[in-house]
Amino acid sequence: MSHVLHRSLVQSYPVAVKGEGVYLIDSTGKRYLDACGGAAVSCLGHSDPAVIAAIQRQVAELAYAHSAFFTSEPMEQLANFLTARAPGSLDYVYFVSGGSEAIESALKLARQYYVEKGEPERRHIISRRQSYHGNTLGALATGGNLWRRSQFEPLLVETHQVSPCYAYREMRPGETEAVFARRLADELESKILELGADQVMAFIAEPVVGATLGAVPPVADYFRLIRRVCDRYGVLLIADEVMCGMGRTGSLFVSAQEQIEPDILCIAKGLGAGYQPIGATLVSEQIVRTLREGSGFFQHGHTYIGHATACAAALAVQQQIESRQLLSQVVSMGRKLHAGLQSQLGDLPYIGDIRGRGLFRGIELVRDRDSRTPFSPELKLHARIKAKAMELGLMCYPMGGTVNGRDGDHILLAPPFIIDDGHVDQIVDRLSASIQHVMRGI
Ligand code: PLP
């Protein structure tokens, strides 16, 4: 009997014993092609020798030094690496242990910035429906996913939601992308005015929506219009690139693809690629200057912020990605993956949409393609597809609630950047076999 409080209390899990390139291997020797990087984490695969060596060197030299006493070389070097490549004036980095902590830090930074700037009435956070920003209470309160929020609602601080940029379902018949983007920006502006333009602190969004919607990129110009609305009312723009950032869509920062400069940008997952738990909050020079000239410190902190071994691992991961030019592979393999999915699945009557960017791809299932009606959530299609894929030796990331937190199913793919043509074929074959097997039983 296991004494671990596992995610599921009724299911048993295979025991993972080894990672080898794009595969995870369990205690029976079964190999699983990791087509989702767990949850879009393992972007370098599972056994990168250079990263392993960097971690071993760092642990032997200095495993950890508390950040209230010391800085460390890996932390300084990783901050230099990231800020040299980040958009705009995101010149400072706060290192944490994961995505939720990165979001919490962003929210507290935004609040402290306005307090010290002399605008303490700014407190409202606006996010989008069908969003996920993490599971700690502040991050959960910020997200707009009804299912994830519902039982914890009494514990959540008040936040406000606007429509997501989810063209497949939110664009009206006859509406162009340009008109859609303008309508959503207008909706944000109305929400800011409704709450009081001098009371809104931040707008937060995932540039490409991951787990909640299944790799949904924004329409052209959406983020530029959003940036303009935020600027008009002095609202901070927080980009949550925890899942979509760090090369997943073909460049290190999605905000750069969208030609915007967020005030705060959160990363995690692919930053350390699973070799160590690490996340980070990148912060604009203006925010840091305000705090430096004010209280002189950021009133926050966790025991493991700036963990030396985690920073050394992340630096090695990012150096590998850059020196091996893996981001161009993300683009080319992403195209191949998309084409494969389209050709094997695209014509099936229950495939509503295949979308995404780079090696971040989503497939939305529908009962009826014309009306885009989702399947009943009671069917638990997403869970059945995940189970069948595991049986066939494929890890993918299916989720339910795509439409409104309750209805809808999608499958998210986020394979390692090191996949080759053969792996792409295997992913497409096994995924399509899993989906078709489950659909035959419906
Ligand atoms: N933000 C986004 C967009 C995420 O996808 C996630 C996790 O899936 C988080 C935040 C929270 O990250 P973590 O699970 O590392 O706390």
Per-residue pLDDT of the chain (442 residues; tens, 9 = 90+): 899 999 999 999 999 999 999 999 999 999 999 999 999 999 999 999 999 999 999 999 999 999 999 999 999 999 999 999 999 999 999 999 999 999 999 999 999 999 999 999 999 999 999 999 999 999 999 999 988 999 999 999 999 999 999 999 999 999 999 999 999 999 999 999 999 999 999 999 999 999 999 999 999 999 999 999 999 999 999 999 999 999 999 999 999 999 999 999 999 999 999 999 999 999 999 999 999 999 999 999 999 999 999 999 999 999 999 999 999 999 999 999 999 999 999 999 999 999 999 999 999 999 999 999 999 999 999 999 999 999 999 999 999 999 999 999 999 999 999 999 999 999 999 999 999 999 999 8
Same domain (yes/no): 230, 337: no
**Residue 99 belongs to a domain:** yes
353 domain residue, yes or no: yes
159 C-alpha to ligand 1 centroid (Å): 18
C-alpha 62 – ligand 1 centre gap (Å): 28
Residue 5 domain flag: no
**Residue 116: which CATH number?**
3.40.640.10
Do 44 and 130 belong to one domain? no
- Overall size of the chain counted in residues: 442
Distance (Å) from CA 139 to ligand 1 centroid: 9
Beta strands (DSSP E) in 206-322 are 236-240, 264-267, 279-284
Mutation test residue for ligand 1: of 43, 131, 135, 269, the one with most atoms within 8 Å of CB: 269
Strands (E), 302-425: 351-357, 360-365, 394-395, 397-400, 409-413
Within a domain: residue 276?
yes
Residue 407 main-chain phi, psi, to 5 deg: -95, 155
- For residue 111, is it within any domain? yes
Examine the domain organization and report whether 107 and 22 are in the same domain: no
Both 143 and 219 in one domain: the answer is yes
Q: Are 108 and 99 in contact (CB under 8 A)?
A: no
3-state secondary structure of 438: helix
- Tell whether ligand 1 has an atom less than 6 A from the beta carbon of residue 240: yes
Query: What residues form DSSP beta bridges with 237?
Result: 203
Shortest-distance Cα residue to atom 15 of ligand 1: 99
Report the alpha-carbon distance of residue 407 to residue 379 in Å, rounded.
10
- 275, 295, 323 — which closes off a domain? 323
Report if residue 260 sits inside a domain: yes
- Per-residue buried b or exposed e for 327-355, using 16+ beta carbons within 10 Å of the residue's own CB: bebbeebbebbbebbeebbeeeebbbbbb
Out of 105, 148, 243, mutate this one to test ligand 1's pocket (max ligand atoms within 8 Å of CB): namely: 243
Q: Please indicate, yes or no, whether residues 288 and 406 belong to a single structural domain of this protein.
A: no
Residue nearest ligand 1's atom 13 by CA: 99
Does residue 358 sit in the same domain as residue 286? no
Q: Within 10 A of 1 (CB to CB), how many other CB atoms are there? A: 3
Q: Determine contact, residues 415/45, Cβ cutoff 8 Å.
A: no
The atom number, within ligand 1, closest to the CA of 212 reads 5
Say how many CA atoms lie within 13 Å of 311 toward its Cβ.
Answer: 27
Ligand 1 close to Cβ of residue 242 (< 6 A): yes
Overall domain count for the chain: 2
90 and 237 both lie in a single domain:
yes
For residue 286, how many other CB atoms are within 10 A of its CB? 13
Phi first, then psi: give them for residue 25, nearest 5 degrees. Answer: -125, 135
Ligand 1 center from residue 277 Cα (angstroms): 12
pTM score: 0.98
d(CA 364, CA 411): 7
Q: Which of 323, 357, 376 is the last residue of a domain?
A: 323
**Best probe residue, ligand 1, of 36, 96, 100 (max atoms within 8 Å of C-beta):** 100
* Residue 119 within any structural domain of the chain: yes
* Cross-strand partners of 395: 34
Residue 349 Cα, ligand 1 centroid: separation in angstroms? 32
Whether 132 and 252 map to the same domain: the answer is yes
Q: Does residue 66 sit in the same domain as residue 162?
A: yes
Shared domain check, 290 and 200 = yes
Answer yes or no: is 237 within a domain: yes
Tell me if 145 CB under 6 Å of ligand 1.
Answer: no
Q: What is the CATH number of the domain that holds 398?
A: 3.90.1150.10
**What separation in Å is there between the alpha carbon of 236 and the centre of ligand 1?**
20
Q: Single out the residue in 294, 323, 352 at which a domain terminates.
A: 323
Number of H helices and E strands in the chain, helices first, is 15, 15
Ligand 1 geometric centre to CA of 194 (Å):
29
Rounded to whole angstroms, how far apart are CA atoms 196 and 236? 15
CA of 134 to the centre of ligand 1 (A): 5
Q: Decide whether any atom of ligand 1 lies within 6 Å of the 409 Cβ.
A: no
Structural domain boundaries, residue 22: 16-48+325-440
Q: Determine the distance separating the centroid of ligand 1 and the alpha carbon of 149, expressed in angstroms.
A: 14
Q: Are residues 158 and 43 in the same domain?
A: no
69 and 156 part of one domain? yes
